[in-house]
Amino acid sequence: MVGKTIIGIICGTLVYYHCAYRNSTFLSLLSDVFIVLLCSLAILGLLFRQINIQVPVDPLEWQISQDTANSIFACLANTIGAAESVLRVAATGQDKRLFFKVVTFLYMLSALGRVVSGVTIAYAGLCLFSVYLLAENSSLITTCMSRVSG
C-alpha cells in the first residue's frame, strides 16, 4: 500500500508540474508519457533481441476482473448518489442547517477556485489523501489508537 501511495504522489507531482508550471494541457502530458514509454519499450526490445531474451506479451495480464470493475463503478455510483441526495434535500429548504452548510461549502469552493488554480487544488487533495493512506497504514498510529482505547 505504501508503494501505491508513493507512485500516486509521483504521478500527481508529474501532472502538477506539467499542467501548472509549464502551462501545458493534460493531453500534451499524455502524449509525452506515451512517447517516452514507446521509445523505452523499443530500446528494451532491441536490447533483448540482441541478447536473445524472449519476453512474452500476454494481453490477458492487463485485464481486470468483472468483480473489480463492478465494485469500482458501484463505489462511483454510490458516491454520486449520496451527493445528489444531499443536494436534493438541501434544495428543498426543509433542513435549514444542511442548506446553509451546503451553501457555505459551495461558496468556499468558489472563493478557493478564484484564488488557486484547479490543478493546485487537485494536487493538494492528492497529497492529503496520500498522507491519510500512509497514516492509516502506519503501525505507529495503530499502536497509539490501541493504547488510547485499551
The end-to-end CA distance of the chain, in Å, is 27
Domain contains 124: yes
29 within a domain of the structure (yes/no):
yes
Neighbours of 123 (CB within 10 A): 19
Q: Is residue 90 included in any domain, yes or no? A: no
Are the C-beta atoms of residues 86 and 102 closer than 8 Å to each other? yes
**Is 136 part of a structural domain of the chain?**
yes
Closest residue by Cα to residue 125 from 113, 114, 143: 113
Q: What digits encode the pLDDT tens for the residues 93-127?
A: 888 898 888 888 888 877 777 777 777 777 788 88
Rounded Cα distance, 72 and 70, in Å: 6
78: in domain: no
110 inside domain? no
Domain of residue 10: give its range: 2-55+116-149
pLDDT at 2 over 80: no
Answer whether residue 47 is part of any domain.
yes
CB atoms within 10 A of CB 80: 10
Distances (CA, A) of 43 to 54, 138, 144: 14, 39, 50
The string of pLDDT tens digits covering residues 75-85 is 889 989 998 88
The sign of the torsion formed by the CA atoms of 106, 112, 113, 118 equals: negative
Model pTM score = 0.42
Q: Give residue-wise pLDDT tens across range 32-66.
A: 777 877 777 777 777 777 888 776 666 666 677 88
- The total of structural domains in the chain comes to 1
Identify whether 6 is part of a domain. Answer: yes
